[in-house]
């Protein structure tokens, strides 16, 4: 992942804010067809798999983000704080 991309997603506190940050990075490349986040607690990372509606834009998105190509999708591994999933739960309980 490119350092400037990491800077834009670094402040994500939960899945919702992380999803919004990543999707905003995808906007210049067209509509997103498929989007999936998978949290790996042990590694303190979230895998993000993005597939665009336009197959022609897919390599451009992958290059722009510094993502790996995975079949017809771009895949990012985003480092998150160790308490990433707990923040969301604590905030919901406080509300």
What's 47's DSSP letter? Answer: E
On whether the CB atoms of residues 49 and 36 are closer than 8 A, the answer is yes
> What are residue 35's DSSP bridge partners?
50
Tell me which of 3.40.462, 3.30.70, 3.60.15, 1.10.3470 is the CATH number of domain 3-94: 3.30.70
Phi and psi, residue 85, nearest 5°: -75, -30
What pTM was computed for the model? 0.82
Give which of 88, 84, 66, 91 is closest to 76, Cα–Cα.
Answer: 66
pLDDT tens per residue across span 14-25: 898 999 999 999
pLDDT tens per residue across span 43-80: 999 999 999 999 999 999 999 999 998 888 999 999 99
């Amino acid at each position: 992942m490119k350092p400037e991309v990491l800077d834009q997603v670094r402040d994500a506190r939960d899945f919702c804010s992380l999803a919004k940050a990543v999707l905003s990075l995808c906007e210049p490349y067209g509509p997103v067809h498929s989007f999936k986040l998978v949290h790996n607690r042990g590694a303190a990372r979230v895998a993000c798999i993005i597939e665009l509606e336009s197959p022609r834009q897919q390599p451009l998105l992958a290059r722009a983000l510094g993502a790996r190509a995975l079949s017809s999708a771009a895949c990012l591994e985003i480092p998150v704080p160790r308490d990433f999933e707990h923040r969301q739960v604590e905030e919901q309980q406080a509300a």
